[in-house]
Amino acid sequence: MAERPFRAAPTHPSGGLWAGGQRRQHLRGVRLVGTALPPSPSLAVYYDVADVKGPYLEASIGRAAGAFDFGAPAVYSAGQEINASAPGEVGYFAESGLTHVDFSATTSFDAGGLSIAPAIHFQISGDAATKAITATGTSRPKFWFGFALSWSSILG
């Protein structure tokens, strides 16, 4: 069973994460805990090195079932929230603490040298900066999907 990291935001091709229309650079998460036994828990620490300097933690549990990988990370801001004493500074989250929980399902398949990995997500948010707000101002969970497309070829 292959482990796959689960992230709160889609990955930019250069290795950063997209956040609010800006590419966000970060050091790769350091996986502190992880097992190959189902379900597989993990704890990752990410530290932003660009505009918002500070860590966030991602505690996750995942399980592979057949061709699918299921994940449920909980994200905790430990320094990437808006600084109340310096309102001009930027932040990715409104407050410190638990920001959101994301439930996901992914799979992948190959077509020659092409690999396609679709994913669906359902996110429940507690932080104002991660909530989906309707036109009437009510909060609701987020649902989204996407895919990663990669290509590899032997050179020579």
Q: Which two tokens mark 3?
A: 């482990």
144-154 pLDDT, tens digit per residue, is 899 999 988 76
Residue 2, in any domain of the structure: no
Say if residue 21's pLDDT is above 60: no
CA distance 102 to 60: 9
Task: Identify whether 156 is part of a domain.
Answer: no
Q: What is the DSSP string of 106-144?
A: E--EEETTEEEEEEEEEEEE-SGGG-EE-TTS-EE-EEE
Q: What is the mean pLDDT of residues 97-113?
A: 92
- Whether 136 maps to a domain, the answer reads yes
Name which of 56, 51, 2 is nearest 29 in CA terms: 56
CA separation for the pair 2, 98 (Å, rounded):
27
Would you place residue 19 in the very low, low, confident or very high pLDDT band (cuts 50, 70, 90)? very low
Amino acid at 63: R
CB atoms within 10 A of CB 58: 20
The pLDDT tens digits of the residues spanning 43-94 come to: 999 888 777 778 889 999 999 888 999 999 999 998 888 877 877 778 888 8
Provide the domain count of the chain.
1
The answer to whether residue 10 is domain-embedded is no
- pLDDT at residue 131, rounded to an integer: 83
d(CA 133, CA 47): 28
3-state class percentages of the chain: helix first, strand second, coil last, to nearest 5: 0, 55, 40
In this prediction, residue 37 carries a pLDDT of 55
Determine the structural domain holding residue 55 and report its residue range. 17-151
Residue 154: helix, strand or coil by DSSP? coil
Is residue 12 within 8 A of residue 20, CB to CB? The reply is no
